Amino acid sequence: MIVCFDIGGSAIKGAITHSPERIFPLPRRTTPLNDFRRFVETMESVLDEAGGLPDRVAISITGVIDPETRRIKCANIPCIDGRELTAELEAALHLPVVIANDADCFALAEAGIGAGRGHRIVFGAILGTGVGGGLVVDGRLINADGGFAGEWGHGPVAATLAGHPPIAIPTFDCGCGQRGCVDTIGGARGLERLHETIHGRTLSSAEIIEIWQSGEAEAARTVDIFIDLVSSPLALVVNITGATIVPVGGGLSNSEALLAEIDRAVRQRILRRFERPLVVRGECRVEPGLIGAALLGFGGQAR
């Protein structure tokens, strides 16, 4: 038995699993943000509820573990930021612990039992509040020991001209400390920022998508520019990694029409030609973090 966790800035979700296909979720808890002792106690309460002695604990978590220092960078949960989290949790819980970034766990889930089944190279892209990603090759995470591979949302590469016809797009400050990252224009908040910048109107990403699909002209312009800005960096990712499938998760993946347009644009911009969809909606719609954590716990291999 493995107890797996999906830990974000608002909730700690736990589950019991005997295989990645058999996951039994437990009631979620609120994430303690500023008290490490309470953070550990919350995890212990999940373990107590699971009953029995698990073989290990497997965790999908917001944040990234540095593969050299083993310290986690996690701005969303200050009480764990900068800690050698794996070692500290093993000492506190008296169990083996494995940890991976939540985007990596999404990619692992899709490669193992989702849209990436049967593909040797799977790039899982997140279009949620922001932009993230993870890479699985031959069933294994590139970031098996932690690291930043797959973080295509960061780096000053956002285009400053976009759309058909093109218009000037300013670069925006990113939370990572750089300026002009794809994360600033590529997720839900980026779509909203673009719409406000172009049209002077504040709408939620869901509202923009809805009126775009109904044919509203301003939203159509925003989405055209959004697709242009996102598709080129994603095409570069595909060229560099050789991915043959790009499952997408996060809130924007709920719009299949938007994904279809991104897929069309990406396939026009890559070297290899695909006659089938490349950028697709992820199939693990319910708890991909827990599925990925389970796969991580069972040896970190997607298949």
Per-residue pLDDT reduced to its tens digit, 1-51: 999 999 999 999 999 998 877 899 999 999 999 999 999 999 999 999 998
Task: Compute, in degrees rounded to 10, the torsion defined by CA atoms 244, 249, 252, 254.
Answer: 100
d(CA 245, CA 238): 9
Counted residue by residue, the chain has a size of 303
d(CA 135, CA 197): 33
Q: Are 141 and 170 in contact (CB under 8 A)?
A: no
d(CA 49, CA 221): 51
d(CA 135, CA 122): 6
pTM of structure: 0.94
CATH code, residues 119-281: 3.30.420.40
The pLDDT of residue 210:
97
The pLDDT of residue 238:
98
d(CA 171, CA 161): 10
* Alpha-carbon 62 to chain mean position: 9
> What is the CATH architecture of 2-104+286-297?
2-Layer Sandwich (3.30)
Tokens matching residue 183: 């994360």
Give me the amino acid identity at 153: G
d(CA 82, CA 151): 19
Q: How far is CA 177 from CA 133, 156, 159, 183, in A?
A: 19, 10, 18, 12
What residue ranges do the domains of the chain occupy? 2-104+286-297, 119-281
The pLDDT of residue 302:
55
Going by the DSSP 8-state scheme, the letter that residue 252 receives in this structure is G
Contacts of 175 (CB under 8 A, 6+ apart): 75, 183
Tokens matching residue 253: 């993946």
Preceding peptide of 67 cis, ω within 30° = no
Residues of the chain whose pLDDT is less than 50? none
pLDDT, tens digit (0-9, with 9 covering 90-100), for 138-166: 999 999 888 999 999 999 999 999 999 99
The pLDDT of residue 185:
96
Q: What pairing do the DSSP bridges indicate for beta strands 121-127 and 97-101?
A: unpaired
The pLDDT of residue 176:
87
Q: Is there a shared CATH topology between the 2-104+286-297 domain and the 119-281 domain?
A: yes
